[in-house]
């Protein structure tokens, strides 16, 4: 019984850690030299699901884009990760378009 309780507690803790994950999504449109980015958000969906949702949102408004990425970080690190991505893309000559999108 004690062993079963330990497995249940471990499963519960893993789910709780997963729910605390933070992401933002981005997609590059090379032809327009533009990067589309979402605001950071906390979500417990899989990366594949979130990336597909962001891609479909861009497709609905006829934005041509390459693959979607939704980097994962902590609540503390996600803002600086996004800032670095903005800085890198601007230095590479891309325009940044901030989207008000959440899954």
Q: Which helix (H) or strand (E) holds 68?
A: strand 68-69
pLDDT of amino acid 17: 43
Does residue 7 have a pLDDT over 60? no
Please give the structure tokens belonging to residue 11: 């499963």
Predicted TM-score (pTM) of this structure: 0.79
pLDDT of amino acid 3: 39
Domain spans of the chain, in order of start: 21-99
- CA 33 – CA 13 distance, rounded (Å): 42
């Amino acid at each position: 019984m004690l062993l079963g309780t330990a497995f249940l507690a471990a499963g519960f803790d893993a789910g709780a850690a997963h729910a605390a994950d933070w992401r933002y999504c981005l997609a590059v449109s090379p032809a327009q030299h533009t990067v589309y980015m979402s605001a950071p958000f906390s979500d417990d969906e899989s990366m594949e699901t979130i990336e597909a949702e962001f891609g479909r949102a861009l497709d609905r408004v006829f934005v041509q884009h390459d693959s979607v990425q939704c980097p994962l970080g902590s609540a503390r690190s996600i803002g600086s990760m996004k800032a670095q991505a903005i800085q890198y893309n601007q230095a590479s000559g891309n325009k940044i378009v901030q989207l008000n999108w959440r899954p």
